[in-house]
Amino acid sequence: MSLSLLAGCGTLSDSGDDTTTLEVWLMAGSLSADFRERFVRDYESRNPDVRVNITVHEWPGINEKVRTALDSQNPPDVIEVGNSQVAEYVEAGGVRNLTTRVYDLGGDDWVPSLAKSGQVDGYQYGVPFYAANRVVIYREDLFRAAGVTSPPRTRDEWLTVTELLDEGEQQGIYLPGQNWYVLAGFVWDEGGQLAVERSGTWAGALDSPEALRGMAFYERMHALGDAKPGSDESSPDELQVFADGGVAQLIAVPGAARLITEHNPELAGKLGFFPIPGKTAEKPGAVFTGGSVLIAPERNPEAETEAGYAFVKRLTGRKWQREMADTMSFVPNRTNLSDALKGEPGGAAMAKAAKNGHPTPASPRWGDLEANNPIKDYQTAVLRGADPKAAARKASEQISELLSGGA
């Protein structure tokens, strides 16, 4: 999907007035269309010689697109990437080192963990954009109609409520077959891991008893909706599926609620949030602590490079970080904006869930795995009836090969 916010394209406008065109890649689910439009108006008013063209990409398959762009002679000027992908792209080459710009960008105020996600070997290549983790977004009206007066706090309660809501044409939950981020949380809850490191070598661990229990719970939840075993978050678009109605719950970042109501304004005021329940009420379910950083490719003309830097500085500065927290319920990149999510229901649920947050395995080749993810194939195989142990063993072997540098 491309959001074109200008008439012309290329480095110079067709009118010959030396207007610079700034090409920006953002990811689906990060910013709403309204937010993007407001920010671009603000940026262009401050930079009248620049016109911004934003292209919105889906997460599946993005690794190869970014690698290809970085290797080209005409890459985008700014690219949003996942907080676990920076090392992969830096190793591939073509990412600008921004270490000397950190002070000017306000890096002294960055949340340390977010700043670190943009670093490789102590150098700053990515500028922290936001952090977020998943929660359950639910239809308050459907819960009330089913007689459910408060969100579940344990897995058992969650199953009971979801079974109650999964009736007739209504789905108790829409859980895509290949949402490996959600599976990871269930695996962590059971004490398992996706991969483990032993003596400097990484190996897949989906075939452990703990990880298999996590997959078994995923199966039970997936069965309480109509998502296909081979579906992921973007195919079909899970936010559109939820917005179309007839779905009681969806697991997504809180900011997805704003995108859902853009698709279907009738759902405004009907959406609530709660942390993914854990095995006990005292501890929420485990979640992947995600987020994004902004990188700047090296192979661009000076005018575009400076215009891109100004874009990044403005978008990651205090004003628009606070606006993003208010609008999208993301955790801002600055410690001095810690109050930005106070009183915001989605943000409050996310903050509770973050207490049991986990990163992906710290292998430098994890980005290679996400680009060719055997975890997703494993999920689909099990949901289609494959023997879980055998499928987990196969996936673990593939994970081991990928993390060791194999094809």
Q: What confidence score (pLDDT) does residue 365 get?
A: 85
**Would you say residue 11 has pLDDT above 50?**
no
pLDDT tens digits, 392-403: 999 999 999 999
- pLDDT at residue number 112: 84
Instruction: Supply the pLDDT for residue 1.
Output: 42
* pLDDT, greater one: 339 or 235: 235
Token pair belonging to 203: 């190996």
Whether 2-132+289-349 and 135-288+360-403 share one fold: the answer is yes
Residue type, 125: Y
Domain 2-132+289-349 has CATH 3.40.190.10: yes
CA 356, CA 329: separation in Å to the nearest integer? Answer: 18
pLDDT grade, residue 406 (50/70/90)? low
DSSP-derived 3-state class of residue 198: strand
Superfamily holding 135-288+360-403:
Periplasmic binding protein-like II (3.40.190.10)
Instruction: Give CA torsion, residues 169, 173, 178, 183, to 10 deg.
Output: -150
Q: What is the tens place of the pLDDT at every residue in 92-106?
A: 899 999 999 999 999
Other CB atoms within a 10 A radius of the CB of residue 36 amount to: 18
Instruction: Flag whether pLDDT at 13 surpasses 70.
Output: no
Statement: residue 7 has pLDDT above 80: no
Q: Which has the closest alpha carbon to 334: 100, 107, 63, 11? A: 107
pLDDT range class, residue 17, cuts 50, 70, 90: low
| Domain regions of the chain by residue span | 2-132+289-349, 135-288+360-403
Q: For residue 373, what pLDDT is reported?
A: 94
